[in-house]
Every structure is written in C-alpha cells, then in structure tokens.
Amino acid sequence: MISTLIYRSRLGPSFEPSKLEELVCVSQSRNAALKISGILLFDGTHFLQVLEGPLESVNRLYDKINQDPRHDSVVELMRDYAPKRHFENLGMTLFDLRSDSPRTVLRSVIVAGALKFNLASDGRVYKFIKSFIRGSWRDQNLPQSEPASWCFVPDRSLVRASPGPLFVDQPCQFAIQPIVEPLRGQISSFEALIRSPGGGSPQDYFASIPAERIHEADLLSKEWAFALAKKIGIGSHKLSINLLPMSLVNIPGAVDILLDQITRNGLVPEQVIVEVTEDEVISGYDEFTTAIMQLRSAGIGLAIDDFGAGFAGLSLLTKFQPGELKIDRSIITDIHLHGPKQAILNAIVKCCAGLEISVVAEGVEKVEEWCWLEAAGIKHFQGYLFARPALNGVPAISWPVKVRR
Ligand code: C2E
Ligand code: MN
Ligand code: MN
C-alpha cells in the first residue's frame, strides 16, 4: 500500500529562491532513502508537493516539513492510499512554473507520472496538480492578515470577580464567557456555562442529578444564570444559555417558566439566546418543533451549538434555520493547517450568508486560526484567545491590536 499526501506551502522569509536547486538535491536523496517519491511544484511564492511512499515515512517527512523554516503556511490538502505510486522515480522532481508555461509544465508532469495506470485525469492527485499549475486554487484562498502583525491587549474594564456563589445553598453556579466581534471591539453575547456547586464542569453537574430529573434541573438552573446576569449588570448585552431541547419539551409550561425567570431578573426575552446542540435537534426534531415555535413567538433567539460535530451537517439547515450557528471546535482547531477543514468552513460560511444566519467560531485558541477565519468571512468568535470563562463573573477580554513592524 502506498500512502499519498499533498500539501501546499509558502516560501519561508529566510529562504533564497536561488537556493531552490540545492534544496531539491538534498531532499532528493533524503526522500529516496525513505522510499518516498513525488513531485514539487513551485510558482515563485508557493509550493505544492505530492509525497508518496510507506505511511510511516510520509508522516515522518511531513512532520519535518512542518518544522522547516523554509516552508511557511503549510496546509495539508489531501491524504489518500493507492495500490501504486503516481510518480515512480524515488526522490523528488521539481517543476518550476517560473520557467515554463502552465501547459508545458502540466505536460511534463504527465510524462513524469505513471500516467498509464495511476495519474488518471479524473483522480484527485491530478486535479490538485492542475489547479495549482493553473493558479485556480487561489480563488478559494483569500489573502489573510499576518498573525505576527497582531498583539492582544487585555481589557479589564468589564471584569466582575466574585469569590463564590451569589447565594448560599445555590444548587449550581455559572461561568461566563464572552462571544466577541474582535475587529469592532464589540461583545456579541455573554454565554452562561453551568458549573457544579464546587465549580466542576457541566458533566460533573449533570452526573450528580438523577436521570429522571435532568431536564427539570437543566431548566430550573437557568434562574441562576439570569440572576448572575442581573448581578453583573449586563445591560443591553445578549445572554446565551445552553439547554437540552428536551428540557423545553418534557417540562410542562417550560417556555413560560423560562420567560418568568427572564423577566424576574430584569431581562427581556429578545436579549436571550437559547443554544441547543446539532445532535439533539436532529434526534428529537418533531417534538422540538413545538418548543421552537414557542421560543420564537416569545422573542427568544435560537442558536445551533457544536455545528459540524454531529452527523446532521448541512442537511439540518434544510429543516430549520436558526438565527445563529456556532461551528464546533473540532473544525476550528488548526484550520489554518488543514485544507479539508477550510473547504468545509467555506461552505458553511457561504450557506449561512445565503440564509442570513450569523456564524460564530468556537474554541479559537490561536492567532493563526483567527486570522484565517476572519479572511474566510467570520466575524464572531469565542475562545481562550479572547477570553476564558469566569466563574460567577466576567473575564478580561483580550482585543487584537495591529502592531507596526
Ligand atoms: P458549549 O456550549 O459548546 O460551550 C463551550 C465549551 O467550550 C465550554 O466548556 C467552554 O469552557 C469551552 N471553551 C471555550 N473556549 C474554548 C477554547 O478556546 N478552547 C477549549 N479547549 N475550550 C473552550 P464547558 O463550560 O465545559 O461546557 C461544555 C458543554 O456543556 C457546553 O458546550 C454545553 O454544551 C454544555 N453546557 C454548559 N452549560 C449548560 C447548561 O446550562 N445546560 C446544558 N444542558 N448544557 C450545558
Ligand atoms: Mn453553548
Ligand atoms: Mn459548542
């Protein structure tokens, strides 16, 4: 079995293009020793490389490339397996798009490939090569700002810290994490995340509740989220809460209970957003429809949480369009390094733009992720890069500021 990996990278700032031949020479013998074959395409700024060989060797070499300062912005585009190599000569053959026309380069790549069997023109390897040679891959990849051109300045003006729960004998607590619009310096919403009486995770909290009382506890716990919002004085900011959809379906009069809690704490329904996860909506869609109608007619907003983590995917949006969609951290993490994640994210952004749904990227931890996501058109972010959840309070928010270099 042959493992195939295709990546794209940019020439590192420390690398002299005139040293390219030298680099290729060194790589050629190194790759041959690893039983790796493949080609390297260079257009003056970007590389596209096809690596193929034993899985272990390909992985080891790709790790090296990721740490090599001569390669910048390395993005994995494809991993696949094949019965045979697409390029039979061990080592690496360079195709320089600066010295020949796209048509000529494509022709020489075809000659270099074991085309008769493997480099079929309907195969993905061939298509990736062709779109790189023609430059059409750029249509999908907007220029982004340099991660190094930003620094993050913490703003503590909203910080509210509380030594403990608001009231004695509180059955649960809440932590607050802001969702922000970094380039406008605005807070989109505060999300209330449940904590156990000892400050433990949502899992800890729900594990202590008997199964038959989970929905009731979930719904009634929201009183403490609204009480916290009141104490903090969230003003006209929005408050996002998490609910199991069945907490709205199984408890009689659930939406009225929620409305009561909201008004009792001096909030209005229009500033509250209920987040439910993708999987929950799908598994109980018919029952949940009534709850959605009630929530929406009361003025409460709806968000789909953890989108992309479940099995529904885009087909969910054919049934139901929320005001807000939160993209799961599993898609966001290292998105700047991963072509398939990028293509999926672009599709979600495009789809939501057509439906006027606002998109939030969840779990953003790295500047590189944020820069890529901004370029892809996302404006709302949640994650440790900007703010961590604060128990019984509001955390400092780190806002990006452009630095002159
Ligand atoms: P969620 O609604 O998707 O909330 C975001 C979770 O990701 C939170 O974990 C938050 O602390 C974490 N997070 C935020 N930014 C980052 C980041 O940059 N990196 C990483 N690694 N994590 C980040 P938490 O508080 O443990 O909540 C987990 C889940 O528990 C929530 O996911 C939500 O689905 C559920 N949950 C929270 N509160 C409630 C509630 O009141 N009722 C119900 N039914 N579920 C709740
Ligand atoms: Mn949530
Ligand atoms: Mn989530």
CATH fold of 147-402 reads: TIM Barrel (3.20.20)
What is the overall mean pLDDT for the chain? 92
Nearest CA to ligand 1 atom 37: 193
Tell me how far CA of residue 279 lies from CA of 96, 216, 249, 313, 392, in angstroms: 48, 20, 16, 9, 29
For 287-317, the pLDDT digits (tens) are 888 888 889 999 999 999 999 988 777 888 8
Binned at pLDDT 50, 70 and 90, residue 103 comes out as very high
Closest Cα to atom 12, ligand 1: which residue?
Answer: 363
Distance 216 CA to ligand 3 centre (A): 22
Ligand nearest to the CA of 364: 1
User: How many Å apart are CA 157 and CA 50, to the nearest integer?
Assistant: 51
What is the residue whose two structure tokens read 């994995």? 76
Mean pLDDT throughout 107-122?
Answer: 71
Domain residue extents for the chain: 2-140, 147-402
Residue 180 has pLDDT above 80, yes or no: yes
Nearest CA to ligand 1 atom 15: 383
With the most atoms of ligand 1 within 8 angstroms of its CB, the residue from 170, 193, 278 to mutate is 193
Residues 6+ apart with CB under 8 A from 102: 133, 134, 135
Question: Residue 117: pLDDT above 60?
Answer: no
156: pLDDT strictly greater than 90: yes
Give the residue-averaged pLDDT of 188-217. 96
Nearest ligand 1 atom, CA 305:
3
Distance CA 307, CA 286 (A): 19
- Closest-CA residue, ligand 1 atom 25, reads 193
Cα(89) to centroid of ligand 3, in Å? 47
Task: Give me ligand 1 centre to Cα 193, in Å.
Answer: 6
Distance 286 CA to ligand 1 centre (A): 26
C-beta of residue 320 within 8 angstroms of C-beta of residue 284? no
Percent of the chain with pLDDT over 70: 98
Q: Is the pLDDT of residue 92 over 90?
A: no
Instruction: Please enumerate in sequence order all residues whose Cβ is within 8 A of that of 356, keeping only pairs 6 or more positions apart, or say none.
Output: none
Q: How confident is the model at residue 231 (pLDDT cuts 50, 70, 90)?
A: very high
Q: Give the nearest ligand 1 atom to 175 CA.
A: 25
Q: Report the separation in Å between the CA atom of 346 and the middle of ligand 3, taken as the mean of its atom positions.
A: 19
**The model's pTM:** 0.93
Rounded distance, CA 48 to CA 71, Å? Answer: 11
Q: Is the pLDDT of residue 220 over 90?
A: yes
Give the mutation target among 174, 206, 242 for probing the ligand 1 site: most ligand atoms within 8 A of CB: 242
Pick the CATH number of 2-140 from 2.60.120.430, 3.40.50.970, 3.40.50.300, 3.30.70.100: 3.30.70.100
Q: Which ligand is in closest contact with the Cα of 385?
A: 1
Q: Would you say residue 18 has pLDDT above 90?
A: no
Dist. CA 252 → ligand 3 center (Å): 27
The pLDDT value given to residue 101: 95
Which residues form the pocket of ligand 1, taking CB atoms under 6 Å from any ligand atom? 177, 193-194, 201-202, 218, 221, 242-244, 275, 277, 305-306, 362-365, 382-384, 389
- Average pLDDT of span 184-200: 96
- Ligand 1, atom 21, lies closest to the CA of 363
Q: Which two tokens stand for residue 282?
A: 């799908």
Output b/e per residue, 155-167; b: 16+ Cβ within 10 A. eeebeeeeeebee
What pLDDT score was predicted for residue 208?
96
Distance 192 CA to ligand 1 centre (A): 9
Structure letter (DSSP) for residue 71: E
Q: Is residue 333's pLDDT more than 80? A: yes
Tell me, what's the pLDDT at 121? Answer: 61
pLDDT of residue 134: 95
**Nearest atom of ligand 1 to the alpha carbon of 194:** 38
Please tell me the predicted confidence (pLDDT) of residue 118.
Answer: 54
* Residue 317 Cα to ligand 1 middle (Å): 23
pLDDT, residue 59, reads 97
